[in-house]
Amino acid sequence: MPRKKHYGITDASYIGKYCYSVRFGADKPCADCPMLLSKNEPHERIVSDKDMVWCVRHTPMFNTQGDISGYIELSIDITQKKKRKVEFKEAENKLKESEQRFREIFENSHDKPIFARSNRRYAV
């Protein structure tokens, strides 16, 4: 489990403990804890922790009477995905800038280039 490794957990000592005590060593829930804010519906949020980014999904568990008996928390490491998204956006911006420079050069040039295609037909 990547999250256990991230927190240096090597055994099952975390079982039965609250997430805020395992993750942050805190004695009370986070102020924006989705389990305190929306108790009856699954909730998903993005959490940055140290050098990692996680997609954390909280899902309530119900007993036979329909009362909440606990929560399941699923954490997915999306660090690389977020980095790739930033890199893609930077590359996209560079491409747009390059296209704009080319367009300005082409439109402001007195000499118009002629492009030869592979089928030997010319295009302006």
Contacts of 35 (CB under 8 A, 6+ apart): 29, 43, 58, 60, 71
pLDDT at residue number 15: 80
Note the pLDDT of residue 6: 67
Q: In what order do the strands lie in the sheet with 68-77?
A: 43-49, 52-62, 68-77
pLDDT, residue 18, reads 81
pLDDT given for residue 67 in this prediction: 84
Whether the model pTM is above 0.75: no
Amino acid 121: pLDDT? 65
| Helix/strand/coil for 109 | coil
Q: Is there a contact between 86 and 79 (Cβ–Cβ < 8 Å)? A: no
pLDDT of residue 99: 94
Interatomic CA distance for residues 38 and 75, integer angstroms:
18
What pLDDT, on a 0 to 100 scale, did the predictor assign at position 79? Answer: 93
**Each residue's pLDDT tens digit, 15-29:** 888 878 877 778 888
pLDDT the model gives residue 83: 93
Q: What is the reported pLDDT for 123?
A: 59
pLDDT at 96: 96
Q: Give the chain's residues under pLDDT 70.
A: 1-7, 34, 38-39, 113, 115-118, 120-124
